[in-house]
Amino acid sequence: MTRPLSPNLWLMKSEPDAYSIDDLKRDKKTLWDGIRNYQVRNLIRDEMKEGDLAIFYHSNAKPPAVVGLMKIAGKPTPDPLQFDSKSKYYDPKSKQEMPRWLACPCQFVEKFKQPVDLATLRKTTALRNMKILSKGNRLSITRLTLSEFKTLLKMAAAQFKV
């Protein structure tokens, strides 16, 4: 296995009612849990690594928008909620010795001064292939190309420099 030299770039969705960029700003670090989709689980298991960068997207928001930047702060770890019978993310079929679901540690980097809403994203030619804009893509974590990542940072007037 070769180790990629540059960080992977991701877009990660969260409903602000559940967990927002302001929550992350307050917490500084969080365990990104509640992932219950096998494609996404495989992505973080097989491809996500410490040091990767992720754009934070508010879904089901008014308006939906990219709102900030975070960094992957460690290896994916078993999602504790799958074993919590009181959680809505409880999975009775998952066993301690063979956990089914993973969560990933995320660290706050910045909240964008200029969040970019979905309508604006759709109008941006440089983002026309961005996964989140293609019809039918509902995955909560998707990859960004370097070009898409740079475009988003620029539009959002980000502090972070690639």
Partner DNA sequence: GCCAACGTTGGC
Stretch that binds DNA, among 19-27, 108-116, 118-126, 151-159 (CB under 7 A): 118-126
Would you say 36 or 45 has its CB closer to DNA? 36
CA 43 vs CA 68, 113, 128, 143: distances in Å: 21, 29, 22, 9
**Judged by CB under 7 A, does residue 16 bind DNA?**
no
Would you say 74 or 99 has its CB closer to DNA? 99
Strand, helix or coil for residue 107: strand
> E strands, the chain, where?
9-14, 29-32, 53-58, 65-72, 77-78, 102-117, 141-143
Residue selected from 9, 13, 16, 73 as contacting DNA according to rule CB under 7 A: 13
* Beta carbons within 8 Å of 103's beta carbon, 6+ residues apart: 31, 32, 33, 34, 35, 76, 77, 78, 79, 80, 81
> Closest approach of Cβ 128 to DNA, in Å?
14
Task: In whole angstroms, give the CA distance from residue 155 to residue 123.
Answer: 12
Binding to DNA in span 53-92, by CB under 7 A: 59-61, 64
**Judged by CB under 7 A, does residue 6 bind DNA?**
no
> Closest approach of Cβ 138 to DNA, in Å?
4
> Closest approach of Cβ 118 to DNA, in Å?
5
Give the residues lining the site for DNA (CB under 7 A).
13, 15, 36-39, 59-61, 64, 118-119, 122, 135-140
